[in-house]
Structure 1
Amino acid sequence: MTKNSVKNFIVPFAVCLLLAVALYPDSTLNPETYSTEGLELNYNISADLAMVDNNHSLNHNFFSPQLGKSFEGFKEAIAFKESQGDYFTVNTLGYLGKYQFGKETLKLLGVYTPNQFLYNPELQEKAFIANIERNKWVLRKDIKRFEGKHIAGIKVTESGILAAAHLAGPGSVKKFLRSYGGNNISDDYGSTVRGYMKKFSGYDTSMIAPDKKARVTM
């Protein structure tokens, strides 16, 4: 009997033996009467018997979508920073949802029912887009003037500007840029305009069109 034949025989034999013992514990079957003496047992189970794909390690590499520097990546990165992506959260200052909107900002976007907003993920996503569009219109001249420059030790990018505007409003971003970093406003939790500009730099926000009258529509 060849070595491969032994491999193909011994594993099924052992499985059948164990099943027989389990199913018929009171039968005359006596495992002690069986012997593997003389068989070559010093081997490793082949990949086909172990059902292991040689192209993959046993430490599975789980699939994880990589959003990178896309607009979706930008949007989800802000959401994680603001609320860890929780649509239904309200912070200690009353800011709402996945992107932590204040009630006054929502009014500018045409949303007057905060409770409805909080429990409507679709509305929250539309509000985020509308707010980015509005801020891009307000900051369009500053984006053109400062994008690519280095201010307060960071490279200014459009996505960084829009992220900072989401945090502190477009007026605060104008003050930061036009003072060349001297006026660096922070929120009540310590996040700053500069910090957001740095953290969210380099994302692709080119598909967002500036819109002075951006509103949420359902």
Structure 2
Amino acid sequence: MLKKFKTMVRNIASYITIALTICILVHISFRSNETIDLSKYSTKGLNLDYNVNDGIDENKNLIASNTAPDFEFSPYLGKSFVGFKEALAFKESGGNYFSVNTYGYLGKYQFGTETLKMIGIKNPDQFLKNPSLQEKAFIANTARNKWILRRDIKNFVGKRINGIIVTESGILAAAHLAGPGSVKNYLRSYGLDNFADGYGTTVHYYMKRFSGYDTSFIKPDRLAKAM
């Protein structure tokens, strides 16, 4: 008798469970057809800003060399040669091919007219209007500097001067800033002769800022020309 009673209780519990499940499913089905009141989720009254801050003051005049914001231009290029030249260009001019600074230096990489002559460019106006020529000029000038500094690269890369490890890319960046002669003086004086340009940027700063890039792409060339 007790066994039959237990069986009956279990059956009743099963029926109740099934009935409750059906009720829940029917309720959910009806709710899914209801219109959701999105007004409950309104952003009215909230102070929202959809502008992405890129860290650049739009009112800043980027025409002057060495006044561009002091951060890495393209993190996705890493320490490649392209990363090197783009980071250097961004520091020089903000990456602006048509920039002319207050000292008359031209273009994306801020070349002086005398340097341009050494790599075969005699028309500064033509140079300023020609981005392709500016890229060729950067390659040619870097190759020329690498040839002039080839012994210093061999002798000083890996050594520590003024708290930084000397690298080839740091040497080439500093040569772009100050000329290969100033870089030789800096290295051979172990940092005592630290040239600064008209804006106060030093050889030491460029040696540190542009350290560790892969500049093996550039081959030393005493007679390198852009044209």
User: TM bucket by the smaller chain?
Assistant: 0.7 to 0.9
Question: Highest Rg: 1 or 2?
Answer: 2
Q: Aligned residues: percent identity?
A: 66
After superposition, the C-alpha distances for 1:56-87 in whole angstroms (9 at most, x for unaligned) are xxxx9xxx860111111101110110000000
Deviation at 1:207, TM superposition (A): 1.2
- Residues of 2 paired with 1:67 and 1:84: CA distance? 16
Report the counterpart of residue 28 of structure 2 in structure 1.
Answer: 3
Report the counterpart of residue 164 of structure 1 in structure 2.
Answer: 174
- Residues of 2 paired with 1:114 and 1:181: CA distance? 34
Deviation at 1:141, TM superposition (A): 0.5
Report the counterpart of residue 115 of structure 1 in structure 2.
Answer: 125
Deviation at 1:10, TM superposition (A): 2.3
Report the counterpart of residue 145 of structure 2 in structure 1.
Answer: 135
| TM-score, normalising length: structure 1 | 0.74
Stretches of structure 1 that go unaligned for 5 or more consecutive residues are: 16-43, 45-59
After superposition, the C-alpha distances for 1:197-217 in whole angstroms (9 at most, x for unaligned) are 000000000111101110013
- Aligned-partner SS, 1:99: coil
Q: Of residues 165, 182, 189 in structure 2, which corresponds to 1:179? A: 189
Report the counterpart of residue 79 of structure 1 in structure 2.
Answer: 89
Report the counterpart of residue 70 of structure 1 in structure 2.
Answer: 80
Over the aligned positions, Cα root-mean-square deviation in angstroms equals: 2.1
Partner letter of residue 220 of structure 2?
P
Deviation at 1:152, TM superposition (A): 1.3
Report the counterpart of residue 226 of structure 2 in structure 1.
Answer: 216
Deviation at 1:4, TM superposition (A): 5.5
Partner letter of residue 141 of structure 1?
R
Q: What is the aligned residue count?
A: 170
Stretches of structure 2 that go unaligned for 5 or more consecutive residues are: 1-25, 42-51, 53-73
Deviation at 1:6, TM superposition (A): 2.4
Q: Of residues 104, 115, 118 in structure 2, which corresponds to 1:94? A: 104
- Aligned-partner SS, 2:190: coil
Pair 10,194 (structure 1): closer, same or farther in 2 beyond 3 Å: same
Report the counterpart of residue 18 of structure 1 in structure 2.
Answer: none
Asked if 1:144 is matched to 2:170, the reply is: no
- Residues of 2 paired with 1:6 and 1:87: CA distance? 61
After superposition, the C-alpha distances for 1:122-164 in whole angstroms (9 at most, x for unaligned) are 0000000001100000000000000000011111000000000
Pair 5,106 (structure 1): closer, same or farther in 2 beyond 3 Å: farther
Pair 184,4 (structure 1): closer, same or farther in 2 beyond 3 Å: farther
| TM-score, normalising length: structure 2 | 0.71
